[in-house]
Chain A
Amino acid sequence: MLRLHLKTIPAGLAASLLCAVMAQAQSATPAPENGTLEVEQVFAGTCGFCHSDGGRAAGKGPQLMNSPRDDDFIRDRIKHGKPGAMPAFDGAFTDAQIDQIIKYIRALKPREG
């Protein structure tokens, strides 16, 4: 499977690259295995439901951009969630994938325009 590190490429390009990936992945059920994660896609699929604007604004969950929390806190929250607030994702992601998510969160910038 093709792997992309989206945080390093401009959003527009990322989107078009994603199209290419998705065209192939259409009928598969790509559980994030041990591999690298499409973090932007994870947000558009799951996290962004609560962390508005891809984590850039508060919604059901807090804004993640510029989070004052340290990595351990964020890792723990993603793994174990918080009852009645955020689901636990320890069954869904490996530690390495959660590290990738943390990197994405740390790299979040306001959208231009």
Chain B
Amino acid sequence: MRKQWLNSGLPVLAVAAFAASAALAQTVDTARIEGAGQNDWLTYHGSYKSHHYSPLAQINANNVGNLGVAWMHVPGRSTRGLQSMPLAADGVLYYSGSYSRVFALNGATGEVIWSFFPELDEALISRQTHSPYNRGVALGEGKVFVGTMDGRLFGLDAKTGKVLWETRLIDSQKLTVGFTGAPLYAKGSVIIGSQGGEWPGRGPIFAVDATTGKKKWEFLTVAGTDEAMKTWANDSWRTGGGGGWMPGTYDSETNTILWGTANPAPLYDWSGPDYKTQGARPGDNLYTSSVIALDIDTGKLKSYHQELPHDAWDFDSAVGEFVMLERDGQKYVVHPNKGGFVFVYDRNLGVKNVWRLVENINFVKDIDPKTGALIGRRDFPVGKVTEPPLCPFIGGGISWNSGSYSPKTGLYYKIGQEWCMTLDIQKTTPVTAPQVQLNIGADFKMAPPPGGEIYGHLDARDPITGAKKWEVRYPEPPLGSVLSTAGNLVFVPDSRGVLHAYDAETGAELWKHNNGTGHQGGIVSYSVGGKQYIAVTAGFGGMLADEYAPNFGGVYKSMPRDDGALVVFSLK
């Protein structure tokens, strides 16, 4: 059933008017990102509100059948696929590929304006696992910011791509990890979080002066305060993991950075139920698998909520957008957790609700929606975990790519993943010399949910209550980000390579296009010269995508994991 969704002529006219002024490029600053002008996509999550929503409606539910490829760009050397979120400002599209290659392209034609290929420590990269993909750049003050796998942050001239400054933030030679996540620009600072999780370390988040590249502050997600230090017995904080490998956001009203943190190491603890006193890292392990609020000027912790105290399942909080919205005069922040639950907070990270996006969850029986407390946790001793398998799988009920909130429909569009795993929990010892090594703490294998099959789903839900309006299922979980638009559309780039467009109100599929390889990156919309574009990254491979060929076969068997392209669509 196709719904006639009429776009009033007004937004279209407004689009044209804005486009005319787009030629006069202003610099991107905090106010502009906050305002989220409709022609642009100025920051990873679309705006600080993290809606991943475009107010453009030229492409809409009535005409999406005429959507076709406008242009493509091939970045080359797409080892482990293409995973980044493109940005667009004043008609220029900026995006990054593997090895932190950065491109500035004419948003209407795809013509290359400049490119930047940093010289990286390739010997180091050959020792890494979650590498060498890059998940995006940040824009601000006439610069483009990008992190590298070998622990550096670059500030590039947005007009030319020239390096204006370069700052080493992590000793990656020792710690093995670096940066894959997009930085966040706000209020004169560039914020970026380190990889970590199953990598023994202390998972720093950094703020760097956008003008000079000088480090302003550093917050350690592992035992970063005296209070937190007490939650890691036996000096286990030294190899605690943590990190903040995806960008959070900025709340200008409170002058606060909100960030999600990664899991502790080892992933799987052998403590059994006595995790406060036993096992690899006795205690709650603050501030891992938490959401934290930091003062943007000082990096001081203002508030936090640990979504999973003593996370023993690798269901971190580094995944996920911080969706800001208002209802009945209340301001909310909605943040999904990898375990498959969605947390609803007030602006001080006080828990307001917790709801389930995912059906197959058994690492806890439940989470108290009033307090956020875990109910009926499964803490494993050494040995096998098979009956039942642990749900969800290590890939999470929710992966790191973003969902989308449409202020127009009031719905939150989010991918859920239904899969489980068997484990054999083992004691491990963190290896930190000569170079830090992974610390997993178990052998494991993907398994179907008890009594069911593996699948993925796009849900359209109320972001506060979790009430479901509709759902679309996929035989394998999609891994890319979701985009909703004022054109009453929701776009989902799936794992087999098909980009779908659905009616945002009903979930009816209105259009699809095969991009020829799996998706696991970003999707955005922007406008140049009065014309709306949809840009999506295609290119598969990486820690989760690599599980698809052996477990699902089919198209994944021959799907490249070292290739990718940016594909940009417009109306024919």
Contact = CB atoms under 8 A, between A and B. Distances in A.
A57 B421 CA distance: 13
Contact of B440 (A32, A45, A83, A84): A45
B235 interface: yes
A36 to B, nearest CB: 14
Given A49-B438, A60-B547, A84 B562 contact: yes
Q: Is the interface of A mostly helix, strand, loop or mixed?
A: loop
Given A15-B426, A18-B427, A44-B428, A92 B439 contact: no
B126 A48 contact: no
Nearest to B546: A60
B452 interface: no
A8 interface: no
A59 B424 contact: no
Contacts of B562: 84
Interface string B409-429: 000000000000010101111
A68 to B, nearest CB: 17
A62 B557 CA distance: 13
A102 interface: no
Contacts of B80: 84
A23 to B, nearest CB: 9
Contacts of A46: 431, 437-440
B443 A87 contact: no
B550 interface: yes
Q: Which label, helix, strand, loop or mixed, suits the secondary structure of the B interface?
A: loop
Interface residues of B, number: 44
B198 interface: yes
B550 A45 contact: no
A53 B445 contact: yes
A22 B445 contact: no
B31 interface: no
A27 B437 contact: no
A59 B429 contact: no
B129 interface: yes
B426 A49 contact: no
Contact of B444 (A29, A30, A48, A92): A48
10 closest Cβ pairs, A-B complex: A44-B426, A58-B550, A84-B79, A54-B443, A60-B546, A31-B433, A45-B428, A48-B443, A22-B427, A52-B445
Interface of A: 15, 18-19, 22, 25-32, 40-41, 43-46, 48-50, 52-54, 57-62, 80-81, 83-85, 87-89, 91-92, 111
